[in-house]
Every structure is written in structure tokens, then in C-alpha cells.
């Protein structure tokens, strides 16, 4: 018998050389980086509190009051 038969199993590949691994790891990693970038923008550039006299119509007044209440944290 000849021991030089061809094996049917493919050679072992390191995990970082498999493209699917980078899709599985890269997608969530990009989302985490983007969320920190969004958090930084939200902290550095908060929305200004609008005065009621800047409201263009009475229909917008409840929305402005709710926004101002949420921005100031007053009860």
C-alpha cells in the first residue's frame, strides 16, 4: 500500500483569514463606533431651549413646552 493518498479535508485556515468572520465582527463593531460618535455629537451640540415667543403658531406650543420640559428636567 502506498501512504501518499490524497486527503479529502481542506487545510486548516486561521480564523482571521476567513472573510465571514470579519462580516460577523465588523458589522457590530462599526455600529458601536457610530453610536459613540453620535453620543459625542449629542453631548457637544445640545438642542437649544426655545422661548415661547419664538413659536410660529399656537399649534406648536405644546410641542415646545414638552421639549423645554424634557431639556430642563423641571417637574
Q: How far is CA 41 from CA 9, 15, 27, 35, in A?
A: 51, 36, 21, 10
Q: What mean pLDDT is predicted for residues 24-38?
A: 96
- Grid cell locating 53: 415667543
The model's pTM is 0.51
Q: What is the pLDDT of residues 16-30, one digit of tens each?
A: 899 999 999 999 999
* Spans of all domains in the chain: 15-72
Average pLDDT, whole number, for the chain?
83
Higher pLDDT, 64 or 29: 29
The yes-or-no verdict on residue 48 having pLDDT over 90 is no
Q: How far is CA 40 from CA 20, 28, 43, in A?
A: 31, 19, 5
Amino acid at each position: 500500500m502506498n501512504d501518499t493518498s490524497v486527503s479529502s479535508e481542506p487545510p486548516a485556515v486561521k480564523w482571521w483569514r476567513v472573510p465571514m468572520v470579519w462580516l460577523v465582527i465588523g458589522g457590530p463593531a462599526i455600529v458601536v463606533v457610530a453610536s459613540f460618535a453620535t453620543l459625542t455629537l449629542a453631548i457637544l451640540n445640545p438642542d437649544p431651549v426655545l422661548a415661547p415667543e419664538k413659536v410660529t403658531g399656537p399649534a406648536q406650543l405644546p410641542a415646545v413646552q414638552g421639549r423645554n420640559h424634557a431639556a430642563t428636567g423641571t417637574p
